[in-house]
Amino acid sequence: MNAIVLDKVNKWFGTLHVLRDITMTVATGEKVVVCGPSGSGKSTMIRCINRLESHQEGHIFVDGTELTDDLRALDTIRREVGMVFQSFNLFPHLTILENCTLAPIWVRKMPKAEAEELAMSYLERVKIPEQALKYPGQLSGGQQQRVAIARALCMRPKIMLFDEPTSALDPEMIKEVLDTMIALAESGMTMVVVTHEMGFARQVADRVVFMDMGEIVESGPPKRMFEAPETDRLKLFLSQILRGD
Amino acid sequence: MSASIINESAINQSTGSREQPPPGLVGPLAWLRTNLFGSWVSTAVTLALLYIIVRVLFSFVEWAFVNAIWHVPYSATGIAQTAVCQDAKGTGACWAVIADKYRLILFGRFPYDEQWRPAIVVVLFVALFALSTIKAVWRKGIDSPIVRYIAMSGAGLILLDNAAGLLDTIVEVGFGVHLPLPFGLLLLLNTIGKCALVFGLLLLWPAIGVWIGTLAFIGILMFGGILGLTAVPVDYWGGLPITLILATFGLAFAFPLAVLVALGRRSTQLPAVKMLCVVYVELIRGVPLISVLFMASVMFPLFMPPGINVDKLLRAQIAVILFAAAYLAEVVRGGLQALPKGQSEAADAMGLSYWQKTGFIILPQALRLVIPPLVNTFIGFFKDTSLVLIIGLFDLLTMGKVALSDPPWQSFSTEVYIALAVIYIVFCYGMSRYSRGLERELNSARGR
């Protein structure tokens, strides 16, 4: 069973062709890391999967349902797909607990007590249950991103999307977020992760997809991709990104 | 052992004294020195201004209190003998004009013996405002299906009666006959419906219930005609109740309308709604309030079919609502635009519907951001209600002018306008203080 299918997806921003014939499938339980230089369309691609951006050509199927203008189908899909953003996007006027219980209560129609119990269990999993009654502004960046992960998990999604989850963090906070993501990967979640963290890709990814100029240039298991890149573009990208390693 | 304790306390003392700033940097004396007597120029300016302030204050106190005249004798026919006041003019205030005219200014031409009714109305308004500033009042009440059902069926009964009435009016205008409907029964159902709605809301959301209940009671007190109260037509209303009614109803209805218009103007899905909102805001903002009031008063009745007569106060009220909503909509839109796009995207990604996203995520944050300009507009409109004088409604300011048209008191406008200013200041400053408190509370809750 394929969790996500992208079939010849094309997208334009005005006259700018940002996604070119993207074809990719993600199997249930598979962890895919998407990398590529900035402006390569990787964020746009992942945002198309839960229709924060709409595509103009091709087909996208998520959990067997096609993404169209049909709002009911969209609601069903968004319920099953959790997303974590680069800039956390926690709701600053709600407590950590309220951030986590909002969607379960109103979208899943879960009783409040049950939603709070669920939220606390996920906050424990990301190791910050003691912050539950604080506001996002009182937490560090790493803590906020872990709350964002817990908040997405509270909807019990089948698929998790990560859009550069560590890019806005200070170096010492990156590890705590990556550890949370590794633990999630080990639990069997289907994950699509846009990131530059090659160590994370090596450790958890089943497959790495390299994008450039809006198209998928190369994809394969991380070991093969990093040790024996086939295309010049990937070689160039790896030489730039791994210089610091 | 004892030596180590001494050492510790010595360390504590030394670090303690280091945390203290050097003397002369804090305290009122230091504040005076840095802010008022920092250099010889600022010392000179401080002294000069101090002299002017003291002089002005002294002469004002002398005029307003020391030499003031509080009462004047009346002639046998009841005409005020203002000769004393005329003599004191320029040296002492004549507060006797307020003592003589305060009921006219506050309550207008409302029948003299019935003026306890508008007096209670003013007290009710103030109590309603005061009650609304308490946060606990806005908490949710009992939210059960039965309570909802009571409120909904109440609203349904009211709608039923109004729909029947409207249908009957249309048929009457068109064909000149009345519909054979049981109007007595419908009116009874309407009354039951109103009670059910208020009762239901009171349980469901106490604050809204209290508001609707109080406003309904205010309506009964002003109109009369039931419960043994003499009926008083709107033409006899005046003074402070008119100002408070126009401002309160105006802003209470304009605000929700403004939020809808602001949301509509930012809609990407519904271009027709967006266009409508843009046209509405630009049209209303493009004309002065006076002309909107004038249109509501003079032109609107011309377009209505004969036989339908919308009350003058109601017309002014609708004009104020429409006008205030256009301005408030732009303020709210400013708040909506200030929110980062990520907030909306996060809500979308979680599967929240448009109205859930708007109600739980977007509006609470956007409105918090615009409390200062929002209250600015509120205060502006509270004062702008005095423009209704142009269409012959007698608000507080207009009643002051009417009071001054009485021959014996004609030359004491300063005293009357000062008294009016004090009333306006009390209400406007109250709003301002409340908004500042609200801002502080909302910001501290976020830990910022």
Residues of chain B neighbouring A102 (CB-CB closer than 8 A)? 350, 352, 360
DSSP result, A79-146 = HHEEEE-TT----TTS-HHHHHHHHHHHTS---HHHHHHHHHHHHHHTT-GGGTTS-GGGS-HHHHHH
- The partner residue sitting opposite A78, judged by closest CB among B343, B351, B360, is B351
Q: Report the pLDDT value the prediction gives residue B211, as an integer from 0 to 100.
A: 85
Cα distance between residue A142 and residue A168, in whole Å: 9
Cα distance between residue B220 and residue A56, in whole Å: 60
Residues of chain A neighbouring B356 (CB-CB closer than 8 A)? 106-107
Instruction: Summarize the confidence of residues B186-214 as an average pLDDT.
Output: 81
- Under 8 Å between Cβ of B207 and B138: yes
Q: Report the pLDDT value the prediction gives residue B17, as an integer from 0 to 100.
A: 52
Cα distance between residue B43 and residue A172, in whole Å: 53
Tokens encoding B330: 């732009």
> Is the pLDDT higher at B77 or at A168?
A168
- Under 8 Å between Cβ of A163 and A86: yes
Residues 64-83 of chain A with CB under 8 A from chain B are: 75, 78-79, 81-83
Residues of chain A neighbouring B360 (CB-CB closer than 8 A)? 91, 102, 106
Highest mean pLDDT among B10-19, B55-64, B135-144, B407-416: B55-64
User: Does A241 have pLDDT greater than 70?
Assistant: yes
The Cα of B104 is separated from the nearest Cα of chain A by a number of Å equal to: 48
Between A106-115, B6-15, B274-283, B437-446, the lowest mean confidence (pLDDT) is in B6-15
Nearest residue to B245 via CA among B133, B87, B388, B136: B388
Phi, psi of A211 (to 5 degrees): -115, 145
Cβ of B395: how many Cβ atoms within 10 Å?
A: 25
Is B445 in the A-facing interface, judged by CB distances under 8 Å? yes
Q: Which H/E stretch holds residue A3? A: strand A2-13
Q: How many CA atoms lie within 13 A of B178 on its CB side?
A: 5
Q: Report the pLDDT value the prediction gives residue B328, as an integer from 0 to 100.
A: 93
B343 contacts A83? CB cut-off 8 A: no
Size of interface A-B (CB pairs under 8 A): 65
Nearest residue to A1 via CA among A34, A20, A25, A19: A25
Q: Which H/E stretch holds residue B30? A: helix B28-35
A151 contacts B350? CB cut-off 8 A: yes
Nearest residue to A232 via CA among A210, A207, A214, A209: A210
- The partner residue sitting opposite B346, judged by closest CB among A75, A79, A85, is A85
Nearest residue to B151 via CA among B210, B212, B204: B204
Q: How far apart are the first and last CA of chain B?
A: 45
CB under 8 Å to B25, separation ≥6 — which residues?
none
Tokens encoding A39: 């402006």
Q: How many residues does chain B have?
A: 448
The Cα of A138 is separated from the nearest Cα of chain B by a number of Å equal to: 6
Helix spans in B224-311 (H): 240-265, 271-285, 289-294, 300-303
Residues of chain A neighbouring B342 (CB-CB closer than 8 A)? 85, 87, 89
Q: Report the pLDDT value the prediction gives residue B448, as an integer from 0 to 100.
A: 46
Torsion angle defined by CA atoms of residues A190, A192, A196 and A199, in that order, rounded to the nearest 10 degrees: 20
- The partner residue sitting opposite B342, judged by closest CB among A85, A107, A135, is A85
A103 contacts B350? CB cut-off 8 A: yes
Residues 95-134 of chain A with CB under 8 A from chain B are: 102-103, 106-107, 134
Cα distance between residue A203 and residue B149, in whole Å: 57
Residues of chain A neighbouring B365 (CB-CB closer than 8 A)? 91-93
Q: Report the pLDDT value the prediction gives residue B308, as an integer from 0 to 100.
A: 66
Is A90 in the B-facing interface, judged by CB distances under 8 Å? yes
Confidence category of residue B18, pLDDT binned at 50, 70, 90? low
Residues of chain A neighbouring B340 (CB-CB closer than 8 A)? 87, 89
A93 contacts B365? CB cut-off 8 A: yes
Tokens encoding B395: 């608000």
Q: What is the mean pLDDT of chain A?
A: 90
To probe the interface with B, which of A43, A44, A52 has the most B CB atoms within 10 Å?
Answer: A52
Q: Report the pLDDT value the prediction gives residue B1, as an integer from 0 to 100.
A: 44
User: Does B225 have pLDDT greater than 80?
Assistant: no
- The partner residue sitting opposite B343, judged by closest CB among A89, A135, A138, is A89
Confidence category of residue B301, pLDDT binned at 50, 70, 90? confident
The Cα of A158 is separated from the nearest Cα of chain B by a number of Å equal to: 13
> Is the pLDDT higher at B308 or at B81?
B81
State the amino acid at position B447 in one-letter form.
Answer: G
Q: Which residue has the tokens 């394969």?
A: A220
Q: Which residue has the tokens 């199927």?
A: A61
Cα B174 → chain centroid: 41
Q: Which residue has the tokens 């069926």?
A: B153
Q: Which residue has the tokens 């050097």?
A: B22
User: Does B140 have pLDDT greater than 80?
Assistant: no
Cα distance between residue B254 and residue B292, in whole Å: 15
Q: Report the pLDDT value the prediction gives residue B325, as an integer from 0 to 100.
A: 92
SS3 B90: coil
Is B352 in the A-facing interface, judged by CB distances under 8 Å? yes
To probe the interface with B, which of A89, A145, A147, A164 has the most B CB atoms within 10 Å?
Answer: A89
CB under 8 Å to A23, separation ≥6 — which residues?
A6, A7, A8, A9, A216
Q: B220-223, long-range: CB within 8 Å, 24+ apart, which pairs?
A: B221/B117, B221/B118, B221/B120, B221/B121, B221/B124, B222/B117, B222/B118, B222/B121
Q: Report the pLDDT value the prediction gives residue B196, as an integer from 0 to 100.
A: 84
User: Does B15 have pLDDT greater than 70?
Assistant: no
Cα four-point dihedral sign B158, B241, B395, B330: negative
Q: Which residue has the tokens 């009874």?
A: B188
Q: Which residue has the tokens 């301002």?
A: B432
Torsion angle defined by CA atoms of residues B387, B391, B396 and B399, in that order, rounded to the nearest 10 degrees: 130
DSSP result, B122-153 = HHHHHHHHHHHTSGGGGS-----HHHHHHHHH
The Cα of A227 is separated from the nearest Cα of chain B by a number of Å equal to: 36
User: Does A178 have pLDDT greater than 50?
Assistant: yes
Q: How do residues B33-89 score in pLDDT, each as one tens digit?
A: 888 888 889 889 999 999 999 999 998 888 888 877 787 777 777 777 777 777 777
**Chain B: residue nearest A69 by CA?**
B269
- Under 8 Å between Cβ of B235 and B392: no
Nearest residue to A188 via CA among A50, A46, A28: A28
B356 contacts A85? CB cut-off 8 A: no
Instruction: Summarize the confidence of residues A169-180 as an average pLDDT.
Output: 88
> Is the pLDDT higher at A144 or at B86?
A144
- Under 8 Å between Cβ of B307 and B172: yes
Residues of chain B neighbouring A99 (CB-CB closer than 8 A)? none
> Is the pLDDT higher at B224 or at A224?
A224
Nearest residue to A83 via CA among A106, A62, A69: A62
B445 contacts A138? CB cut-off 8 A: no
Cα distance between residue A185 and residue B63, in whole Å: 82
- The partner residue sitting opposite B352, judged by closest CB among A82, A90, A107, is A107
pTM: 0.80
CB under 8 Å to B346, separation ≥6 — which residues?
A83, A85, A89, A90, A91, B361
Q: Which residue has the tokens 């120029």?
A: B41
> Is the pLDDT higher at B104 or at B24?
B104
A52 contacts B345? CB cut-off 8 A: yes
Cα four-point dihedral sign B154, B158, B159, B163: positive
